[in-house]
Amino acid sequence: MSTVPVEVGHPSVQHWAEPGHRDDRSFLRKYVFATDHKVIGAQFLFMSLFFLLVGGALAMLIRWQLGWPGTPIPGGAILGEAKAPGGIILPEFYNSLVTMHGTFMIFFAIMPLLVGVFGNWLIPLHVGAADMAFPRLNMASFWTAVPAGLIMLSSFFVTGGASAAGWTGYAPLSAVPEYSGVYLGQKLWCISLIVLGFASLMGAVNYITTIVNMRAPGMTWMRLPLPIWSLFITAILVLLAIPVLTGALILLLFDQTIGTTFFLPPDGGQPLMWQHLFWYFGHPEVYILILPAMGIVSEVLSNGSRKPIFGYRFMVYATIAIAFLGWVVWGHHMFQSGMNPYLGATFMTSTMIIAVPSAIKVFNWLGTMYRGNIHFHVPMMNAIAFVAMFVIGGLSGVFMASTPVDIYIHDTYFIVAHIHYVLFGGSLFAIFAGIYYWYPKFFGRLMSPLLGKIHFGLTFVFYNLVFFPMHNLGLDGMMRRIYDPNQYEFLQPLQPVNTLISVSALLLGAAQLIFIFNFVWSLKAGKKAPANPWNANSLEWTLPSPPPHGNFTTMPTVYRGPYEYSAPDRETDFWPQSEPPGTRTGGRREEVHA
Amino acid sequence: MSHAAAMSASRPMEGMKIYNLKLGMWVFLLSEVMFFSSLIGAYIILRFAHPEQWAEPNTVLNVPLTGFNTFMLICSSVTMVKAFAAIEHGDQAGLRKWLIATIILGAAFVGIQVYEYIKLAQHGFVPGAAAYAAEGGPLYGSTFYTMTGFHGAHVTIGVLALIFTAVKAFRGKYTSTDYGGVEIMGLYWHFVDLVWIILFTIVYLI
């Protein structure tokens, strides 16, 4: 419609960094109500690492109960009489622990770590922009996520305790307070997630607009670094999936408060409808939690192998395919729900098809490493662990996707093992890889590689000791979310396995202290980071560490893709995206596409 | 704008030919589509499962009154287009005039909806479970208030945003080359109008 250019908001109008310009923003503007995407990324990092700790602490309590049922927790008296009298966890509190562990980890740890942290840190730098398209909206996104987290946290301290209906909040258990014994806590759970939905929405609008419109000259779609492709697809999933959850949560909240009966069968409501709405959001959510991790891993693997990523285009197509298929598989969470069995068969088929693009990615990662000049730096180790663990998690997913097998393993510890293999073994190892990789860029200091390797080694070993035996527990019939398996005679022989898992889990938790120490200590005492510690190609590595406010001094121009490692006839084994062709090395010359 | 800044790079930027605000608003509206789809989807499931809980059209709900309200909302979309067309040609007076007209129509829509709610509540038609079992069933009121209520909230937010836009218009902040704020306001307003046409059809007429 508009033939006249609209001046304000045109992507080319950006506030670039001004060298030698004194930064006179106040402390509040610079670090608290900041609009700089790098600061907001760091804010998200500190927030979500805090909630990762909270979620981890809840997991420790769960493992204590399962490892040594009915034994008082050392120092457990601080939990209070209502939750753990004499330090012994009550069954009602255990339900809250399981629910809140899942809720915190998914919504307040992994999701903001992947989307909030890396989305904010990487998108403007990787596309060559001064900042996000809407910096103030970006700030609002973070300051909406914080109260959401605080509301969720506060639900532990209200009468009746925190939500105990599982992270999936199945109605009518979640809709009727008498069923779960949780009153205000369940409402706070709904409200918190609704508020968080607004934060996610603001982020998604910003990411999509920035990636589509703010790409620097030459940064074509097929030259985008793969983390950006992943975050772009993820942002679309967030944009379209979260509103459905918001709608479902609103209906649930109405059932709890104003006496509607959307999910209450006596008055015509449909519990199955909650499951459909929840999983219509929930399955795209699964890919929200893994796609950015795949992007990070692709970046790190290519860098660590000193080779171009194998099959860049197919990586992109596989990402799109996974995202698309992710919308038509939600029913595989509901094989046992009583829905039409014919429907189960279609969901089984569509779910199995997802294995194809996932396998394409795995083989491309292997192809990337094959005969590469592999540098085993700490991010690379975590990235390789991601690939291995994702394969295990993916294969156990195929078990559950086939309905006959799922009838047997549904709601057992097999499911718990699977989700943790993709979410911890997958996403969290990728997050560690990403943090180790980009920490020098954003904090200006190097993390200790020795501590990083110790942290990785211990995490990898104890992680597998915790979660691999869970497959067997599940096949032996141990139900997920169970307070004390010993109440069933046939589960009593499994107690030694549960104790082994719990010991490993406590050690796994302890190993994370090394990461925390390394993170905090390096902020002050780490070696000063050079601009490009990994000899990487993407645009952020041409900038000082940390990059100044406004990132680039002028709009960068991009000449090639981000994975031009070990190009023949060059002196160096990397080739920055913005290095003009034919300069510096006198090596292979390239036509200038002006 | 600093055309110099845009031209300083040797090549044009990648990206679409529309400006950020407009792209952002379109993206946001996509998520709004999904939000209303979840409510409408739930409504369809419940109504197919329990048709007996719904009263005949025009027995509980006042269709002529809401029909008039719908007409007003459609008119407000026309005035919004007029406002946008005015500022595209730099017509400041026209922009202000049509924005005020849109605000009046939008506010009147919300006012009539509130009046409708009060009247219905006086007849005992509330989203409580047992209070009005005589007129349809509990799901009827629950879905009615949820769907029209969230649409009403969107119109209310729209009216507030229109007032904000009008204040800026009266301060002369928009020009024939800088009308982004008016255009995205229009996009949002037309979307809210469109949703209402769907809701009016499935909630009142069918």
The residue that leads in pLDDT, B135 or A111, is A111
Contacts of B93 (CB under 8 A, 6+ apart): B86
pLDDT of residue A17: 87
The fraction of chain B above a pLDDT of 90, given in percent, is 71
* Mean model confidence pLDDT for chain A: 92
| pLDDT > 50? residue A385 | yes
Contacts of A121 (CB under 8 A, 6+ apart): A37, A38, A41, A42, A438, A441, A442
> Chain A closest CA to B17's CA: distance in Å?
8
pLDDT of residue A100: 97
Among B19, B35, B127, the residue with its CB nearest the CB of A9 is: B19
Tell me the chain A residues in contact with residue B23 when contact means C-beta distances shorter than 8 Å: 133, 208-209, 212-213
| CA-based nearest residue in chain B for residue A7 | B1
Domain spanning A40-289: CATH superfamily: Cytochrome c oxidase-like, subunit I domain (1.20.210.10)
Q: What Cα–Cα distance (Å) separates residue A484 from each residue in A70, A373, A487, B115? A: 8, 50, 6, 56
Instruction: Please identify, in words, the CATH class of the domain defined by A293-529.
Output: mainly alpha
Q: Check whether the bond before A546 is cis (ω within 30° of 0).
A: yes
User: CA A46 to CA A34: how far, in whole Å?
Assistant: 14
User: CA B74 to CA B95: how far, in whole Å?
Assistant: 18
| pLDDT > 80? residue A144 | yes
Among B11, B21, B138, the residue with its CB nearest the CB of A9 is: B21
What average pLDDT does the segment A61-83 reach? Answer: 91
Q: How many CB pairs under 8 A join A and B?
A: 187
| pLDDT > 80? residue A540 | yes
| CA-based nearest residue in chain A for residue B42 | A273
Q: Does B21 touch chain A (CB under 8 A)?
A: yes
Identify from B22, B30, B38, B126 which residue to disrupt to test chain A contact, counting A C-beta atoms within 10 A and taking the largest count: B38
Q: Which of A41-55, A73-87, A526-540 is predicted least confidently?
A: A73-87
Tell me the chain A residues in contact with residue B18 when contact means C-beta distances shorter than 8 Å: 213
CB-based contact A554 B23, cutoff 8 Å: no
Among A244, A254, A273, the residue with its CB nearest the CB of B45 is: A273
pLDDT of residue A30: 85
Inter-residue contact A484 to A68 (CB < 8 Å): no
Query: Which band of pLDDT confidence, cut at 50, 70 and 90, is reported for residue B6?
Result: very low
What is the CA A335 to chain-centroid distance, rounded?
A: 26
pLDDT of residue A268: 86
Inter-residue contact A199 to A142 (CB < 8 Å): yes
Contacts of A513 (CB under 8 A, 6+ apart): none
Contacts of A70 (CB under 8 A, 6+ apart): A88, A484
| pLDDT > 80? residue A99 | yes
A9 φ/ψ sector (left φ>0, alpha ψ -120 to 50, else beta): left
Instruction: Name the residue with tokens 């549904």.
Output: A410
Q: Per residue in A559-571, pLDDT tens?
A: 999 999 999 888 8
| pLDDT > 80? residue A287 | yes
Q: Please name the residues between 97 and 126 in chain B that touch chain A, using a CB distance below 8 Å.
A: none
Query: Which band of pLDDT confidence, cut at 50, 70 and 90, is reported for residue A591?
Result: very low
**Which 3 state secondary structure label does DSSP give B66?**
helix
Query: Tokens in use for A124?
Result: 């403007």
CATH 1.20.210.10 segments of chain A: 40-289, 293-529
Please, is B153 exposed, middle or buried when counting C-beta atoms within 10 Å of its C-beta (0-12, 13-18, 19+)?
Answer: exposed
Closest CA to A297 of A134, A447, A422: A422
Q: Is the dihedral of CA A413, A417, A423, A424 positive or negative?
A: positive
Query: Which band of pLDDT confidence, cut at 50, 70 and 90, is reported for residue A93?
Result: very high
| pLDDT > 70? residue A9 | no
> Chain B closest CA to A3's CA: distance in Å?
10
What is the CA A27 to chain-centroid distance, rounded?
A: 30
| pLDDT > 60? residue A584 | no
Q: Per residue in A230-240, pLDDT tens?
A: 999 999 999 99
pLDDT of residue A15: 85
User: CA B43 to CA A460: how far, in whole Å?
Assistant: 48
* pTM, 2 dp: 0.94
| pLDDT > 60? residue B187 | yes
What average pLDDT does the segment B159-186 reach? Answer: 94
> Chain B closest CA to A246's CA: distance in Å?
7
Q: How many CA atoms lie within 13 A of A550 on its CB side?
A: 16
Q: Per residue in B8-57, pLDDT tens?
A: 445 678 888 788 999 999 999 999 999 999 999 999 999 999 888 888 88
Query: Which band of pLDDT confidence, cut at 50, 70 and 90, is reported for residue B128?
Result: low
Query: Tokens in use for B78?
Result: 């026309």
Query: Tokens in use for A158?
Result: 């209200």
Q: Per residue in A392-408, pLDDT tens?
A: 999 999 999 999 999 99
pLDDT of residue A425: 93
CB-based contact A217 B2, cutoff 8 Å: no
pLDDT of residue A28: 86
Please provide the size of chain A in residues.
Answer: 594
| pLDDT > 50? residue B4 | no
Q: Per residue in A507-517, pLDDT tens?
A: 999 999 999 99
pLDDT of residue A586: 41
Q: In three state form, how does the secondary structure of A575-592 look?
A: CCCCCCCCCCCCCCCCCC
CATH number of the CATH domain containing B107: 1.20.120.80
- The count of domains in chain B is 1
CB-based contact B19 A262, cutoff 8 Å: no
pLDDT of residue A155: 95
What average pLDDT does the segment A342-370 reach? Answer: 94
Inter-residue contact A535 to A573 (CB < 8 Å): yes
Q: Which domain holds residue B193?
A: 20-205
